[in-house]
Structure formats: structure tokens, C-alpha cells
């Protein structure tokens, strides 16, 4: 069994930044990138609000830069998915890909969050045949076609804007009577002639033979003028939020009511000494690249202090 001082589970801005700081502190960190190396930002075309990039930068490029920087300082960045975790003070055992066991003195959890789905049977039926939770991954396949984006926040608006440059028409189905997105994103969507916003609409089903050819919508649910009708679309993109990737750690680290890891005393420390959490997996509020990177820095510094204070 391999023994390491600092094991980082997950990548993205939190994991890679933790690796940079841990490597510079001579903690010899080992980082396993997980099922989506680089995290959610690898599905984002343009990042405009990360300090230091006045002209913006693509998500994949930023993550590749962070990865290279971590490796430059000596982090051992590996491909692999944590499939089992027995977390204990100063002696955690983490299984990678169901076979390789790593014994870690300290652990930094940065497993991020995953896209939420509506829970419709049709989502599974048409998975890969017209249903996607990643506009930048799959938008190319809908060139000059019509799609519907589900959601009303920044992600939904960003996806709608991105798809409007590819598709002939984009519907934006919003459950409420207003958008939750930032003012800037709202204004961009409202100005875009190729985007039609459907307020107080829910997608309740999909139709199609060999793929999606239409979406069944419910308008004004529970009201006198409630209406169910169908629109012609070639695909549906989900942008309704995320849930933290914490199933692996249930029963060990403290989680809040929605499954995010709790951290304590203004640090990235969890309830288990020697185990820390960073990024979206412990952040139900901000969920930004810059805050994730900052928490990765904090987690690495907390980890370093813990090892020094305990003579480890």
C-alpha cells in the first residue's frame, strides 16, 4: 500500500491550487483528477471574471495552466477516480478505481459538484440522443437546429448565449416569472433575438423516434390558465444547478442538509482531524472559480499547519 503525506481527491481550480501550495510547501502531494479532470470549468467556453485575464480565458485552458503549474512545483498529478474512502485522523485509506489503495496522513477533498437533472424518465431515454447538461460539450451537434435550455440562472443564460451562436433558435424555459441571473447576463439574453424566454414554463417530457424532436411544456402550473403544449426542438440542455459530489464521504465527514461538506472555525478543516475540503464540494453559496481556487489555497495551508503542529 502506497503511503503519502497529502492526498488530494479531485481537480478543478480548488484541487489544482491546493496541489500548487502543497507542493511548494514540500508536502509531496498526490492528486487524483477524478472523472472530469479539470472539473466543471472544462465545460465553460469563456471565463471573464477571473482576475488577471482582462481579455478572458477559456475554461479548459485555465485548468491546463493550473495543472502544469502544480506539476512544475512537484505535485504528482494522476489519472484516477476515488471509489472508496475510509477517513480517519492521520490515517485515511482511499481506494482508486476500485483497486489501488492509498494510505494518506492528510486528505484534501475537492471533488466538486455535478449537474442536476429534472428527474424525468425521458432524460434517461434520450441520454446522448438529445439531452445534455453541457452546452459547450455538445452544442456543436446542434448547429443550425432548435434547442431548449432549462433554467433561469447565470449558467442557463450563459448556455443560451453560447448556443445562440450555433443554433438557429434557442428557447429558455424558466420555471419562475423572472430570471435569477446577474443583471449583465439578463441583459445579454434579453437583447439576443435568437433566444425566446418562456417564463413560468416547465419541461415535463420529451418526444422523438431516434432522438429528441420535441419537448412537452407545462405553462402556469397550478393556475387557472395552466396549459400543456409541445414545441419542436432537436435537443434539451439542462442548467438547473448542481449537487455536491459527496456520496463517497457520507457517514464520515459532516455534511449540511443539502450534502455539502461542512468546514469549521473559519478554515477548510472538516470534523475529522487531518481531512480538509475545498471548492464547490464545500461551497453551497458562491461556487465561483476564484473562490474555489482561494479555498484550495486555504486547504493546503491548513494541511501544512496541521502536519507541523502535530509533528507529522
Q: Cα–Cα distance between 188 and 195 in angstroms, integer?
A: 10
Q: Catalytic: which of 76, 134, 154, 254?
A: 134
Q: Cell numbers of 214, please? A: 420535441
206 with 126: CB under 8 angstroms? yes
First to last CA, the chain: 19
Residue of 137, 178, 232, 256 with catalytic role: 137
Q: Which of 138, 159, 234, 283 is catalytic?
A: 138
- Quickly count: other Cβ atoms within 10 Å of residue 204's Cβ: 14
| Of the candidates 199, 113, 204, 221, the residue with the CA atom closest to the CA atom of residue 151 | 199
Kind and range of the H or E run holding 307: helix 289-309
Residue 32, Cα to own-chain centre: how many angstroms?
Answer: 16
**Residues 120/206, Cβ–Cβ less than 8 Å:** yes
Angle between helix axes 289-309 and 12-24 (nearest 10 degrees) is 40
The verdict on whether 138 is a catalytic residue reads yes
Q: Which of 53, 45, 292, 285 is nearest to 159 (CA)?
A: 45
CA distance 277 to 226: 45
Please state the φ and ψ torsions of residue 252, each to the nearest 5 degrees.
Answer: -120, -70
- Grouping H, G, I as helix, E, B as strand and the rest as coil, residue 174 is strand
C-alpha cell at 226: 395552466
CB 116 within 8 A of CB 238: yes
- Judged by DSSP in three states, 20 sits in helix
Active site residues: 134, 137-138
Amino acid at each position: 500500500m502506497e503511503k503519502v503525506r497529502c492526498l488530494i481527491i479531485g481537480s478543478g481550480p480548488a484541487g489544482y491550487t491546493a496541489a500548487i501550495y502543497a507542493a511548494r510547501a514540500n508536502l509531496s502531494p498526490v492528486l487524483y483528477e477524478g472523472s472530469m479532470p479539470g472539473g466543471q470549468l472544462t465545460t465553460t467556453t469563456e471565463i471573464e471574471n477571473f482576475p488577471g485575464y482582462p481579455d478572458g480565458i477559456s475554461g479548459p485552458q485555465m485548468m491546463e495552466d493550473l495543472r502544469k503549474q502544480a506539476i512544475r512545483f512537484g505535485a504528482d498529478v494522476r489519472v484516477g477516480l476515488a471509489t472508496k474512502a475510509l477517513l480517519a485522523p492521520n490515517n485515511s485509506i482511499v481506494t482508486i478505481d476500485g483497486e489501488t489503495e492509498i494510505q494518506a496522513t492528510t486528505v484534501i477533498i475537492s471533488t466538486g459538484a455535478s449537474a442536476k437533472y429534472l428527474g424525468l424518465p425521458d432524460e434517461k431515454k434520450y441520454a446522448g440522443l438529445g439531452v445534455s447538461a453541457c452546452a459547450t460539450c455538445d452544442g456543436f451537434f446542434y448547429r443550425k437546429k432548435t434547442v431548449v435550455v432549462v433554467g433561469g440562472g447565470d449558467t442557463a443564460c450563459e448556455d443560451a448565449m453560447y448556443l445562440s451562436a450555433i443554433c438557429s433558435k434557442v428557447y429558455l424555459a424558466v420555471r419562475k416569472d423572472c430570471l435569477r441571473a446577474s443583471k449583465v447576463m439578463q441583459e445579454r439574453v434579453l437583447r439576443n433575438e435568437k433566444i425566446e424566454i418562456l417564463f413560468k414554463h416547465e419541461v415535463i417530457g420529451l418526444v422523438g423516434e431516434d432522438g429528441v424532436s420535441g419537448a412537452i411544456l407545462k405553462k402556469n402550473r397550478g393556475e387557472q390558465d395552466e396549459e400543456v403544449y409541445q414545441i419542436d426542438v432537436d435537443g434539451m440542455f439542462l442548467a438547473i444547478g448542481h449537487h455536491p459530489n459527496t456520496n463517497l464521504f457520507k457517514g464520515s465527514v459532516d455534511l449540511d442538509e443539502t450534502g455539502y461538506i461542512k468546514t469549521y472555525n473559519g478554515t477548510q478543516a472538516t470534523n475529522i482531524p487531518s481531512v480538509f475540503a475545498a471548492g464547490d464540494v464545500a461551497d453551497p453559496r458562491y461556487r465561483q472559480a476564484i473562490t474555489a481556487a482561494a479555498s484550495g489555497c486555504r486547504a493546503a495551508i491548513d494541511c501544512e499547519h496541521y502536519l507541523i503542529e502535530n509533528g507529522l
